[in-house]
């Protein structure tokens, strides 16, 4: 009774990000399409050989994507948006949909090193001049300049891939859409793998998930009504795969882990009856439990079910009990979206009873695609032997899957290897340098009182008005100023040892002094130091807090050519020394105006790193909160009266199931409040958020009890403020008055109009005037021109309101 082994997908980028660099060369016109395709073929064959060498029974084909697998599906289905259609779709068509341009037709293709961008979990694109090695978690890359071909060349929008840090190109649907198999990539890659001698399992995004993850671009119809037409194309795809001799196809329907409305869930039965073919279907789910949908799932015309047992191990018993007797159960026990070594001994014990029941109908797999994991741990020789023994990247996870399969088949050698492999995990659980008594003691002493400021908002506001002495409509910025090429070159030189510590510090102080001088010339009311010392708002804190490990090659794809390198939480987190105090106090020493301290919040740091698996996310957030709480205390003791704690990721950290939102938001809000609660009444706490809507979390936003919240509103023409108005939000608000992601300079009159609109919803006494977001990606010329108009607009309205009073 052989246990078959497989993975749901492998990283596409290459161990040295070969795909990224070749794509960008192609977009710049430096390599041909043939050269690009050759690199893609080399990467696929290497990935397949990795899987085969490890002993997997199948290799995954169709998991490779030039930009994004959902976009690949769009072309496969012949579903290219009309503005991008130009005959039969080709590779340049794909890039045009994703980037808003094509190699062949757009004269601005030289700006490819930074692609179109998505901000958090919205569908908004941004423009950025960030270099590839900056690893800015807060951005997902973007074009330095937009394509000038007009609106018909606009890219399709981006969105979060469920609750991961991957982003997909959102399909667009109109009521007259048709679908026809048009893009041969899947079939070519199946042939390529077969010719290389591999047993192939094609990977295909399912029809219901494809529809669900898209959006209607015209009113008056429901995209679910397109399902019958879409299924015709899926019939053709499966028929083609059958002719290629494919035995099993992996059809991904990750939306089955969501709380689906009845029409969507009911559509699965008919859909899978219609596309039934000679190819066996492994219905694949991941990221959460499918128990809610299980009664519907077991009625489907498929041949097996994959479940994610890393995200939801408790579903195994119920799924195994209800599984049709002729189905395969693929157990996703090796976590595909983290970096930790699997406890193979524990997984072996978990699966033994299922193996006894199902025999060879039990398969072993990764929990999800390994594209969410770095490629190869062997590329990190600088890590200590101990730390290396804790991790497994994609290549190592393939080996874990294969080894567990052999152990389930009774191989004594494999069982012993599993025990040896897992022993190091057990040793780590008791290590005092991982689980630190001093941190545990602080966690155990957290009480509700630790989350509360020492005075209510109204009382704090009175103290702050007296201490800060700010005018009506105070002006400020969100925190960062342009990261110039000079800053990046100096940072690179410092990291490579070409600049000494003293030389680098001197250079950074020069940039800070320059930023302060420019802000004073603009006559801003509250200044910032500009963050020249930070390459990334999360990695900077990870590098300066004990309990984190950074890597050199731990890159994962965000989408397209954009990769990020998350830090890893490896131990209890603590602050061993002040992190930002030196820079903020230096900046404050240069001006008599108020200087704002800048921190990244605990939930955002958590969401943008690889977390530990041996403790809860709440515990990690609380550890981060306590560390940041100490930083807040030191900042205010050093004379910093305004401190901003950014939490752009609170909303994106929401669990997939709405019933789990409340518990998450409670501990997320508490973590922020623990961070801020050490502030004295006269210390003003700001936070910044960038979301497309606030309605579903407005209670939690209010519960943060920040003295001032700054938000992105200029694109919505202040419509986002409705949520705050209807909620009667009690504290101060800084609605963004211009879009920092555009190179356009807002006029004074335009900004005045937006402030007046804001004042219709929020009392003028509680309004701040600021840009939408940080200015890291803009140049100084754009920045100063925009801020000058912003300050003039605020002064004009200040005068008008004073005269009216």
- Relative orientation angle of helices 780-804 and 501-522, to the nearest 10 degrees: 40
- Nearest partner of 46 among 203, 191, 193, judged by Cα: 193
Q: Is 773 annotated as a binding residue?
A: yes
Report yes or no: 296 and 268 within 8 Å, Cβ to Cβ: yes
Separation between Cα atoms, residue 438 and residue 416, nearest integer Å: 36
CA atoms within 13 A on the CB side of 671: 28
Report yes or no: 678 and 455 within 8 Å, Cβ to Cβ: no
- Residues annotated as catalytic are 741
Residue 559 sits at φ, ψ, to 5 deg, of 175, 165
Q: Is 617 annotated as a binding residue?
A: no
- Nearest partner of 30 among 122, 117, 145, 110, judged by Cα: 110
Q: Is 368 annotated as a binding residue?
A: no
Q: Is 20 annotated as a binding residue?
A: yes
Q: Is 720 left (phi over 0), alpha (psi -120 to 50) or beta?
A: alpha
Q: Is 688 annotated as a binding residue?
A: yes
Separation between Cα atoms, residue 254 and residue 290, nearest integer Å: 9
Q: Is 652 annotated as a binding residue?
A: yes
Q: Is 712 annotated as a binding residue?
A: yes
Which tokens sit at 90?
């080709």
H or E element in which residue 354 lies: helix 344-358
- Sequence length of the chain is 805
- Relative orientation angle of helices 394-408 and 412-429, to the nearest 10 degrees: 130
Q: Is 662 left (phi over 0), alpha (psi -120 to 50) or beta?
A: alpha
Q: Is 292 annotated as a binding residue?
A: no
DSSP bridge partners of 304: 282, 328
Report yes or no: 404 and 347 within 8 Å, Cβ to Cβ: yes
3-state secondary structure 652-674: CCCCCCHHHHHHHHHHHHHHHHH
Alpha helices in 88-167 (DSSP H): 91-99
Q: Is 325 annotated as a binding residue?
A: no
Residue with tokens 């009159």: 749
Q: Is 608 annotated as a binding residue?
A: yes
Report yes or no: 481 and 783 within 8 Å, Cβ to Cβ: yes
CA dihedral (719, 724, 727, 731) in degrees, to 10, reads -160
Residue with tokens 């109109």: 174
Percentages helix, strand, coil for the chain (3-state, rounded to 5) are 45, 15, 40
* 575 DSSP assignment: -
Q: Is 709 left (phi over 0), alpha (psi -120 to 50) or beta?
A: beta
Separation between Cα atoms, residue 616 and residue 614, nearest integer Å: 7
Provide the annotated binding site for L-methionine: 478-480, 531, 646
Provide the annotated binding site: 17-20, 160, 165, 478-480, 531, 562-563, 608, 646, 652, 688, 690, 712, 773
Provide the annotated binding site for Zn(2+): 688, 690, 712, 773
Provide the annotated binding site for L-homocysteine: 478-480, 531, 646
């Amino acid at each position: 009774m052989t246990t078959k082994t497989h993975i749901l997908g492998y990283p596409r980028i290459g161990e040295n990000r070969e795909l990224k660099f070749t794509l960008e060369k192609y977009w710049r016109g430096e390599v041909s399409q043939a050269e690009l395709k050759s690199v893609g073929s080399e990467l696929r064959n290497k990935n397949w050989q990795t899987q085969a060498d490890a002993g997997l029974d199948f290799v995954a084909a169709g998991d490779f994507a030039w930009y994004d697998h959902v976009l690949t599906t769009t072309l496969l289905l012949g579903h290219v948006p009309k503005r991008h259609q130009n005959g039969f779709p080709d590779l340049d068509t794909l890039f045009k949909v994703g980037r808003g341009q094509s190699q062949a037709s757009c004269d601005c293709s030289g700006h490819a090193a930074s692609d179109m961008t998505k901000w958090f979990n919205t569908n908004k694109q941004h423009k950025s001049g960030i270099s590839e090695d900056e690893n800015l978690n807060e951005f997902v890359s973007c074009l330095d300049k937009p394509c000038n071909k007009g609106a018909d060349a606009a890219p399709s929008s981006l969105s979060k891939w469920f609750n991961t840090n991957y982003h997909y190109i959102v399909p667009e649907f109109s009521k007259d859409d048709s679908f026809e198999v048009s893009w041969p990539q899947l079939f070519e890659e199946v042939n390529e793998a077969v010719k290389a001698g591999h047993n192939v399992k094609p990977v295909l995004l399912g029809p219901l998930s494809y529809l669900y993850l898209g959006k209607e671009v015209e009113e008056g119809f429901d995209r679910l009504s397109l399902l019958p037409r879409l299924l015709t194309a899926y019939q053709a795809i499966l028929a083609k795969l059958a002719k290629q001799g494919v035995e099993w196809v992996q059809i991904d329907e990750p939306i089955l882990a969501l709380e689906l409305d009845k029409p969507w869930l009911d559509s699965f039965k008919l859909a899978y009856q219609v596309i039934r073919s000679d190819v066996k279907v492994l219905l694949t789910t991941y990221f959460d439990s499918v128990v809610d949908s299980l009664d519907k799932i077991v009625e489907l015309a498929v041949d097996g079910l994959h479940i994610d047992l890393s995200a939801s191990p408790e579903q195994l018993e119920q799924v195994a009990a209800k599984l049709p007797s002729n189905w395969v159960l693929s157990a996703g026990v090796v976590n595909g979206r983290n970096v930790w070594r699997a406890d193979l001994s524990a997984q072996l014990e978990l699966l033994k009873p299922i193996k006894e029941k199902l025999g060879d109908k039990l398969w072993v797999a990764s929990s999800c695609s390994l594209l969410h994991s770095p490629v190869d741990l062997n590329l990190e020789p600088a890590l200590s032997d101990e730390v290396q023994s804790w991790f497994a990247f994609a290549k190592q996870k393939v080996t874990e899957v294969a080894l567990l399969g052999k152990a389930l088949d009774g191989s004594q050698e494999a069982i012993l290897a599993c025990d040896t492999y897992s022993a190091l995990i057990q040793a780590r659980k008791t290590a005092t340098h991982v689980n630190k008594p001093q941190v545990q003691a602080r966690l155990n002493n957290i009480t509700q009182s630790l989350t509360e400021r020492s005075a209510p908002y109204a009382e704090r506001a009175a103290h702050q008005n007296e201490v800060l002495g700010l005018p009506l409509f105070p002006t400020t910025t969100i925190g960062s100023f342009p990261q110039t090429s000079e800053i990046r070159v100096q940072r690179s030189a410092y990291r490579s040892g070409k600049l000494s510590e003293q030389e680098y510090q001197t250079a950074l102080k020069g940039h800070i002094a320059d930023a302060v001088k420019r802000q004073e010339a603009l006559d801003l009311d509250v200044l910032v130091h500009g963050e020249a010392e930070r390459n990334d708002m999360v990695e900077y804190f990870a590098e300066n807090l004990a309990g984190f490990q950074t890597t050199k090659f731990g890159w994962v794809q965000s989408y397209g050519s954009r990769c990020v390198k998350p830090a890893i939480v490896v131990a209890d987190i603590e602050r061993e020394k002040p992190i930002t105090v030196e820079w903020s106090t230096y900046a404050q020493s240069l001006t008599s105006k108020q200087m704002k301290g800048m921190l990244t919040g605990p939930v955002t740091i958590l969401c943008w790193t690889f977390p530990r698996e041996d403790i809860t996310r709440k515990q990690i957030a609380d550890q981060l909160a306590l560390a940041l709480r100490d930083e807040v205390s030191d900042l205010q003791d050093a004379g910093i009266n305004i401190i901003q704690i950014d939490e752009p990721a609170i909303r994106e950290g929401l669990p997939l199931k709405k019933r789990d939102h409340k518990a998450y938001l409670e501990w997320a809000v508490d973590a922020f409040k623990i961070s801020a609660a050490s502030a004295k009444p006269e210390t003003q706490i700001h936070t910044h958020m960038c979301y497309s809507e606030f309605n579903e979390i407005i209670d939690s936003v209010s519960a943060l009890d920040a003295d001032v919240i700054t938000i992105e509103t200029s694109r919505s023409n202040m419509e986002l403020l409705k949520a705050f108005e209807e909620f009667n939000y009690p504290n101060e608000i800084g609605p963004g008055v211009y879009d920092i992601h555009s190179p356009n300079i807002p006029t004074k009159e335009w900004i005045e109009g937006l402030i007046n609109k804001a004042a219709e919803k929020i009392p003028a006494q509680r309004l701040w005037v600021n840009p939408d977001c940080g200015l890291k990606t803009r140049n100084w010329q754009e920045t100063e021109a925009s801020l000058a108009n912003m300050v003039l607009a605020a002064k004009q309205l200040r005068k008008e309101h004073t005269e009216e009073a």
